[in-house]
A and B are shown apart, each in its own frame.
Chain A
Amino acid sequence: MSLLEFFLDPVLRAPTWGCMLMAISTSLMGVISFLKKRSLVGETISHSTYPGVVLGIIFFATFFPRFESMSIVFVLVFAFLSSVLSMKILNYIETRFHVKSDAGLCFILASFFGFGLLLASHAQFAFTNHYKKIQMYLYGQTATMHDVHILIYGLLTSLIVLLIYIFYRPLQLVLFDEGHAKSLNINVSKINKLFNYLLVLSLVVGIRSVGIVLASGMLIAPVIAARQYTDRLSLLFVLSAIFSAISAFLGNYLSVVMSIDSNRTLPSGPLIVLVSASIAFLSLLFAPKNGLIFRLARISEFKRRCLQENILKYIWKTNGREVGHSSIKDFFHLNSVSLKYTLLQMKRKKHIYNSNGSYRLTKRGEQIASNIVRLHRLWELYLASHLGMSIERVHPNAEEMEHILTPEIEQKLVSILNNPKKDPHKQPIP
C-alpha cells in the first residue's frame, strides 16, 4: 500500500481524513485550554459525552432505524448536549457552592460517565443489535468510517478554524489578560462562551475516531510539543495542528498496517494518542531551544569554557613560572584523561603552547586571561562598593561572573566605577 492510497482509496480514505480532521480541531482547541491552564476540562467534557452517545443511539434505534448512516448525526447532537449540560452543572457548583475546579471536574466526570455506563448496560439488553456501536464510541473505531464522516468532520473542523481565525485578536487579548480585555470593551464572557462551546464541539468530533476515553489525549499533547518550538501564538496554533495531523495519520496508518500483519484489529485511537504523546516527549528532549538534550549540551559547553578560562587564568597568575601537567591537575582536581583533552583543545585554539613540559600562554591566551581577571576584579569592586557586600564574600560570586559578563556590562561597570585601577583586595585591575 502506498501512502497516497491512504488519502484516496475509497475504503482507506475515510479513516485517514476523519482522524486528521478530528485531530486538527481538537489540537486547536487544546492550545486554548492549555493557555487557560484548564487542561483537565477536556477529560471531563469527553467523558460526559457518554450518556449522550448512548441516548443518541437509543433514539436513533427507536425512531429512525432505517437510516443507518445517519446515526452519527444523532450521536453527535446528543453527545454535544450532554457535555454542555455537564459544563453548566460544573459552572454552577463552582460558583454557587465554591467547589474547587479540580474537585468539581472529577465529580462531574465520574457522575456523567457512571450514568452513561448505566444507560449502556440497559441498552445491552433492550437494544442488543446496537450495543456494539455504543461500545465503539468508548474506544473509538476508524475502520468503519464512511465518506459521510469526512463531510461532517470537515464542516465542523472548518467552522473551528474559521472562528479562531476571525476572533484571533480578541481571543489573544482574553487569553493573555482578561482584565485588560474588559477595559478595552471586549465582551470577555461572550468570547469565553463561544470557545467553550467550540471545545465541546471539537471533543464531540473526536470521540468517533479516538474514543471517549482518549479523546482529550489529543487536546494537550500537540500543544506541548508545539510550545517547545515557538514563542508566538499564531505559530503555536499552526504547529499544534500539524503535529496532531501527523499523529492522526501515523496512528491510523500503523493501526491498518499492524492489523494486517498480525491478523488482529489494533484500535487506532490508542495508537494516535501514543504517537502524539511520543512527538511531545521527543520535542521535550530534542527541541533546539528548550529541549533537554540541547540544554544539557549547552550547559556542558559552558562548563568546558569555564574550565578552559580558569586554566588560562591559572597560568597567567603564575607569571612565567613553570606550569606542568601535574600542577594543573592537582589545582583543578581533574583526572588525567579529561585534562589532556582540555589542554589539547586549548592548544588547537592557539591559546597555550607547550615548551619543555611547561605550558605557556600565547598572545591570544594572555589577552583572554587578563580580560577574565579584569572582569573578576571589576565585579568584586562593584559588589563591595555599590552593593555593600563585605570584602571577604565577594570572591566566590566573582569567580562565576567573570565567565558571564558581556562587553556591554563591562562598559557599564567601568563607567559607574569611574574606570578603577585597583580591586577591593588592592590588586591591580588589568
Chain B
Amino acid sequence: MQTYKRKLETILKADQLCVHYDKHPVLWNVSLEIPKNQMVAIIGPNGAGKSTFVKAVLNLVEPFSGSVNFLEEGCSIAYVPQKESIDWTFPISAFEVVLMGRYGKLGYFKKPKEKDKLDAIKMLDVVGMKTLKDKQINQLSGGQKQRLFIARALMQDPDILFLDEPFTGIDMATEKLIIDVLKKLKDENKTIFIVHHDLRTLRHYFDWVILLNTYLVDSGPIDMVLTKENIEKTFGNTLSLFEEANILSTTHTKGL
C-alpha cells in the first residue's frame, strides 16, 4: 500500500493501445503506467496478447490505434524472445550470438573490438556458460539456450529488459540462476518486464504485475493487484463471448 503511494517515476506509458492482427483485436484499449526500477510480470491466458504487448512496446508490431511510449529519452532496451521463435540450426556459435548484442552499438560497419569480445565471454560467464562458448547453438540444452539469450541481452547493457516466457521448459536450478541475474540488474536501477505464466512463483519474483486478457484487467503493485477476483477475471472464461462477437463482426465487415 505504502509503495504505491510513494511517488514513483514512470518509465513506460500506454494510452488506449489497440493492436490488431488481420482486423482481429489482440490487444484492446490498454492504458497503463509502469514505474521505473521494478520487476514487472505480464500474465494472462494463452492468446491474451502478452507477447503482442511486448512487441508493441518494442515497435515490432504497429498499433492499430493508441500509443505506447517510454518516458525517458534515449534509454536502451533489450529483448529476449521466446525460444520457439529462433532457428536453432542456424550456423552460429554461442559466443557469436552473445557478441551480436553489441552490433546495435557498433552500427552497420564497425567491427567488434577486443573489448567487445572479452565482454561477450564475461557475459557468458555471468550465466555460467563460459565453457560452452564455441558450441553450435543447437547443441545446448533448453536451459542453456535461454541463458544464452539472456547473456546476449546483458551484452546490450540495457536500461529496460523484456523477456518473453524465459522459464518455459527449463529446470529449477536454471530458473533460479536467471532470477538471481535479473534481481542483480534490478539492483542496478534497471526495469525488467517478464511474460510469465507460473502463478505460484509470482509473489517471490515480482514487484509489479500487469494482468492481461486482450483488455487490461489490472496493473499495479503485486500486493494490491493480485487478488482472487482479478485472477478469475484474467483466467476465467468471460472473454469467449467477446471473441465470438468479434469473429462475427469481422466476417460481416469483410463481406465473407
Q: Give me the interface of A with B, judged by CB distance under 8 Å.
A: 35, 37, 98, 166-167, 169-170, 172-173, 175-177, 179-180, 182-186, 227, 230-233, 235-236
The answer on a CB contact under 8 Å between A170 and B108 is yes
B29 within 8 A of A: no
Chain B min CB distance to A426 (Å): 30
The answer on a CB contact under 8 Å between A230 and B85 is no
B177 surroundings in chain A (CB, below 8 A): none
B108 surroundings in chain A (CB, below 8 A): 167, 169-170, 186
Chain B residue with Cβ nearest A176: B90
State the CA gap A37–B87 with chains docked (Å): 10
Per-residue A-contact encoding for B117-158, CB less than 8 Å = 1, 0 else: 000000000000000000010000000000000001000100
Q: Which of A176, A179, A232 contacts B60 (CB 8 A)?
A: A179
Q: Give me the interface of B with A, judged by CB distance under 8 Å.
A: 22, 55, 58-60, 77-79, 81, 85-87, 90-93, 96-97, 100, 103-104, 106, 108-109, 111, 136, 152, 156
The answer on a CB contact under 8 Å between B106 and A183 is no
With A98-B22, A186-B103, A231-B93 given, name 8 new contacts (CB 8 A). A169-B103, A169-B106, A170-B108, A173-B103, A176-B90, A183-B60, A183-B77, A236-B91
Q: Which of A173, A177, A183, A231 contacts B136 (CB 8 A)?
A: A231
State the CA gap A23–B64 with chains docked (Å): 46
Chain A interface, >50% SS class:
helix
A185 surroundings in chain B (CB, below 8 A): 104
The answer on a CB contact under 8 Å between A184 and B103 is yes
The answer on a CB contact under 8 Å between A183 and B91 is no
Chain B residue with Cβ nearest A232: B91
A231 surroundings in chain B (CB, below 8 A): 91-93, 136
State the CA gap A360–B109 with chains docked (Å): 68
Q: Which of A35, A98, A183, A236 contacts B78 (CB 8 A)?
A: A183
Chain B min CB distance to A144 (Å): 39
The answer on a CB contact under 8 Å between B81 and A177 is yes
B109 surroundings in chain A (CB, below 8 A): 166
The answer on a CB contact under 8 Å between B87 and A182 is no
The answer on a CB contact under 8 Å between B103 and A179 is no
A166 surroundings in chain B (CB, below 8 A): 109
Chain B residue with Cβ nearest A181: B103
A235 surroundings in chain B (CB, below 8 A): 91
Chain B min CB distance to A83 (Å): 27
State the CA gap A94–B18 with chains docked (Å): 24
Given known A-B contacts A179-B81, A179-B85, A231-B136, A186 and B91 have beta carbons under 8 A apart: no
The answer on a CB contact under 8 Å between A182 and B59 is yes
Q: Which of B91, B93, B103 contacts A227 (CB 8 A)?
A: B91
Given known A-B contacts A167-B108, A232-B91, A183 and B58 have beta carbons under 8 A apart: yes
State the CA gap A233–B93 with chains docked (Å): 9
Chain A residue with Cβ nearest B80: A180
Chain A min CB distance to B58 (Å): 5
The answer on a CB contact under 8 Å between A232 and B92 is yes
12 contacts between A and B (CB under 8 A): A35-B90, A172-B92, A176-B92, A176-B97, A177-B81, A179-B55, A182-B60, A183-B58, A183-B59, A183-B60, A184-B103, A232-B92
